[in-house]
Amino acid sequence: MALNTVWFLIVGFLFIGYFVLDGFDFGVGMALPFLGKDDTDRRVLINTIGPVWDLNETWVIVAGASLFASFPEWYASLFSGFYLALLLILVALIARGVAFEYRGKGDTAKWRKTFDWMIVVGSALPALLWGVAFANIVEGVPLNAKHIYTGNLFTLLNPYGLLGGLTTLSVFFLHGLIFITLKTEGEIKERARNLAKKVGYAATVIAASFLLWTLFAHLSVLGAVLTVIAALALVAAQLANHAKRDGAAFALMVLTIITAVGALFAALYPNVLPSTTDAAYSLNIDNASSSQYTLTVMTWVAGIMLPFVLAYQTWTYWVFRKRVSRKNIPAGSH
């Protein structure tokens, strides 16, 4: 297999890892106003992701760095053309991180409420915009002969892009709710389960519409297989949630995201950023990649370092595997 194809798969793997891990972080953040009946409930919700949210977020940094090193032309066109959308994502992620750290530093309800809403918006906005961005990457954007993006932010807000955004927003919300049922005990767990049942209906309709649109527009055998698996896994996750099989429901949501994002990358390949202006202006794995020497060195580095990263992340989740409940929140703490 050519190294540029290998690195296309590695970039895809890193973004899939990011969406699986930070996806439930986003969902938990969006759940605060729906499940947090009081400050203690909100503390329980935040504590479910407290030890891991920053580690989950580093996946997007690694994905971006890998994209820059392996496909510099793709990186340049993407980050310049999608600058405003990516800036909004960055600002939202910074605001969410600040809110996690500073929420407990004040003693007033107004202080905590302000940071709670920063968590909600800082979770919902990236969940929406990542879907918009990836939908446009797959569908294509206006690029000129120099691979420069000639559209604007509103160019990205087309029907397909917005449907992609609603898909990631609803699926991540459902992913977070099911994660909460896995990580909590008591009344808040049951509230999360019941809300997941309602959100699941909307997420299924939206995600199915988006994946079918993608499949019909970019028909491939692999894309069709992954789309079917994603659809079945999403339905099965909700059935497992109804049956109160929390671990199975979460595992099926992970499978849903893996196969759904995989279907998008299957639809994209061998392009990395199609041009709607002229197909000849499109970026693909050949004209957007680094030299063979660079890719070779990066492959050795990734082969050595990636197993350590995965092992450390697995160990972290094992250490913080216990469920969280109201009794774990000390009285009077924030």
**What is the DSSP annotation of 229-254?**
HHHHHHHHHHHHHHTT-HHHHHHHHH
Beta-ladder partners of 72 = none
> What tokens appear for 334 in the block?
């924030």
pLDDT for res 143: 95
pLDDT for res 325: 84
By CB atoms closer than 10 A (0-12, 13-18, 19+), residue 305 is exposed
pTM of the predicted structure, to 2 decimals? 0.94
Q: Which long-range contacts (CB under 8 A, 24 or more apart) does 226-232 make?
A: 226/259, 226/260, 226/262, 226/263, 226/266, 227/259, 227/260, 227/263, 229/255, 229/259, 230/255, 230/256, 230/259, 230/260, 230/263, 231/207
Question: Token pair 């595992």 is at which residue?
Answer: 251
pLDDT for res 331: 63
pLDDT at 162 over 60: yes
pLDDT for res 333: 58
Find the mean pLDDT for residues 44-62. 91
What mean pLDDT, rounded, does the chain reach? 93
Find the mean pLDDT for residues 198-220. 93
pLDDT for res 334: 55
Task: Identify the three-state secondary structure at position 224.
Answer: helix
Closest C-alpha among 309, 326, 311 to residue 65: 309
pLDDT at 332 over 70: no
Find the mean pLDDT for residues 146-170. 93
Convert the pLDDT of each residue in 107-146 to its tens digit.
888 999 999 999 999 999 999 999 999 999 999 999 999 9
Find the mean pLDDT for residues 290-303. 93
**What is the DSSP annotation of 10-41?**
HHHHHHHHHHHHHHHHHHHHHHHHHH-SSHHH
Distance CA(5)–CA(60), nearest Å, equals: 20
With a CB cutoff of 8 Å and minimum separation 6, the contacts of 245 are none
pLDDT for res 74: 95
CA dihedral 88, 317, 230, 197 (to 10 degrees): -80
Find the mean pLDDT for residues 214-238. 94
Beta-ladder partners of 264 = none
Convert the pLDDT of each residue in 188-207 to its tens digit.
999 999 999 999 999 999 99
